[in-house]
Amino acid sequence: MRNNLEFRPLGKTSESIPEVGMGTWGMGGGMRADSSGDSESIEALKLGLELDMTLVDTAEMYGAGHSEEVVSRALEDWRKPVFVASKVSPSHFGYDDLLLSARKSLERLRVKQMDLYQLHWPNPRTPIAETMKAMEKLVRDGMVRHIGVSNFSVAQMRDAQAALSREEIVSNQVEYSLIDRSVEEEILPYCQREKLTLIAYSPLGQGRIARGRGGPFKIVDEIAARLGESRSQVALNWLLWHESVVAIPKASDKKHVVENAAVSGWKLSTRDFQEIDKAFR
Ligand SMILES: NC(=O)c1ccc[n+]([C@@H]2O[C@H](COP(=O)([O-])OP(=O)(O)OC[C@H]3O[C@@H](n4cnc5c(N)ncnc54)[C@H](OP(=O)(O)O)[C@@H]3O)[C@@H](O)[C@H]2O)c1
């Protein structure tokens, strides 16, 4: 079992975060709280932390808040550094609502401070200036360390940044995988140019990459077999070839957790990278 996870810069800050973190959608329920899988989720998260995947991404929306509670239980006995990212739902982007959401997330997470607080989706109904004023207050009051966005276009990222008076947005969390490469058009080049971290969600296509059939997948399988890696590992490593990208696969199965942590610390050859790139273009 490899355990040499590499870190990447967080935006323009002097901090760095693991290039592979852990997603938690589905842990603690979907749109509603469901505690039936809590033990499995907590065990998987704990194992991931041991393997250095110390970036954990959750949201107030996941399991109607219960996902944050699951994360807090996984962190209960963890004494080493961890980077906790959560998200506020678009319906809570009003000034007072946002402050309340943050307080509730901190309570559920049982931490004094979130390392990254992200606007989950854009919400054109609430002026971004109002939302960002609340985000800056959270930073000023020490409840949040860094501000991020999620599912924002380049224009929305620019507006969001312009609405901030002191802070800089450090990241945009967007869907990015071999089977959804739409961010390569504008968002990824913008993040790379402006030194924002692109947090790739659904980096395994919500499990579809492992199940996929057909030509492009055969190429990945051939490369994976030659390297002694799994298809999912090659797909994640291909993502990490891109500067400014970190990935947050979600895994409840311990075998998957171990595989995902082992995606860091090595690199596909240029030839293998290009072959996969071409196959999924
Ligand atoms: N900001 C947003 O709007 C947004 C939207 C979607 C997701 N996200 C975040 O991104 C995270 C990841 O995305 P996701 O959960 O949608 O999908 P994903 O990480 O692409 O895929 C998760 C699925 O892949 C399986 N899997 C994990 N590792 C594997 C491996 N090594 N080999 C084979 N299968 C593997 C998991 O199975 P097991 O669980 O059985 O191990 C699970 O079924 C979420 O959990 C969430 O934190 C954010």
Residue minimizing CA distance to atom 22 of ligand 1:
206
What distance in Å separates the CA atoms of residue 68 and residue 27, rounded to the nearest whole number? Answer: 9
Instruction: Indicate whether 2 pLDDT > 70.
Output: no
Residue 149's alpha-carbon distances to 12, 58, 143, 276, 277, in angstroms, are 15, 13, 17, 29, 27
Ligand 1 centroid to residue 52 C-alpha, Å: 18
Look over the chain and give the mean of its residue pLDDT values, rounded to a whole number.
97
Q: Average pLDDT for residues 255-262, to the nearest whole number?
A: 98
How many Cα neighbours within 13 Å face the side chain of 17? 28
Which pLDDT score, from 0 to 100, does residue 182 have?
A: 98
Ligand 1 touching residue 237 (CB < 6 A): no
Average pLDDT value for residue range 33-49 = 98
What is the pLDDT at residue 3? 55
Judge whether residue 130 has pLDDT over 90: yes
From the CA of 208, how far away is ligand 1's center (Å)? 10
166-205 pLDDT per residue, tens = 999 999 999 999 999 999 999 999 999 999 999 999 999 9
Residue with tokens 């930073």: 139
What is the rounded CA–CA span in Å between residue 11 and residue 164?
15
User: Which of 201, 233, 258 is the best mutation target for the ligand 1 pocket, counting ligand atoms within 8 Å of the beta carbon and taking the most?
Assistant: 201
Give the mean model confidence (pLDDT) for residues 268-280. 98
Q: What is the pLDDT of residue 173?
A: 98
Mean pLDDT to the nearest integer, 109-133: 98
pLDDT of 78 above 60? yes
pLDDT in tens, 213-226: 988 999 999 999 99
Q: Is the pLDDT of residue 132 over 50?
A: yes
CA distances to 65, 226, 243 from 13, in Å: 29, 38, 16
Q: What is the sign of the dihedral through the CA atoms of 55, 265, 226 and 243?
A: positive
Q: Residue 41's pLDDT is what?
A: 98
At residue 188, φ and ψ (nearest 5 deg) are: -65, -50
User: Residue 4: which pLDDT band, with cuts at 50, 70 and 90?
Assistant: confident
Cβ–ligand 1 distance for 231 under 6 Å, the answer no
Dist CA 33 CA 99 (whole Å): 22
CA atoms within 13 A on the CB side of 202: 16
**Which helix (H) or strand (E) segment is 258 a member of?**
helix 254-261
The answer, yes or no, to whether any atom of ligand 1 lies below 6 A from the CB of 205, is yes
pLDDT band, very low/low/confident/very high, at 1 (cuts 50, 70, 90): very low
Dist. CA 201 → ligand 1 center (Å):
7
